Amino acid sequence: MALNEAYLKLAYSDSGAGSSPEATDEELLDLYLRLPKKERDRRFVNTAKAAEICGMAQRTVQYWIEIGLVRAIPIGKRYRICTESLYAHLKGGLPD
């Protein structure tokens, strides 16, 4: 799949990039690897940055990854979290 197609499929799907249930872990990893570094750093953050964004402890973010509330890619012993998935999770926790 071409870079633009993969990017558009995951980045602009109705349910958000990376949080789309039809996007497999392999597709998310493929997107991560194909994105230019600057865009990759914007779209995928480490657990410390994700914790800072949402005002939670880093361990809380790690727990969300473990139980599947947010999508993340394991890179070595660390995770890179899909920011769209993080925002979707935080938005989903807000009352209507």
Find the CATH number of the domain harbouring 32. 1.10.1660
Contact 45/53 with Cβ under 8 angstroms? yes
State residue 70's pLDDT score: 95
Extract long-range pairs of 23-32: CB within 8 Å, 24+ residues apart: 23/71, 25/73, 28/71, 28/73, 28/82, 29/73, 30/1, 30/6, 31/6, 31/7, 32/73, 32/80
pLDDT digits (tens, 9 = 90+) for 28-64: 999 999 999 999 999 999 999 999 999 999 999 999 9
Number of structural domains (the chain) is 1
Q: Which domain holds residue 76?
A: 3-92
DSSP 78: E
Task: Give pLDDT, residue 23.
Answer: 78
Rounded Cα distance, 53 and 74, in Å:
19
CB 85 within 8 A of CB 71: yes
pTM for this structure? Answer: 0.72
Question: Measured between alpha carbons, how far is 61 from 52 in angstroms, rounded to an integer?
Answer: 10
Question: pLDDT of 70-80, one tens digit each?
Answer: 999 999 999 99
Tally of residues, the chain: 96
24 band by pLDDT with thresholds 50, 70 and 90: confident
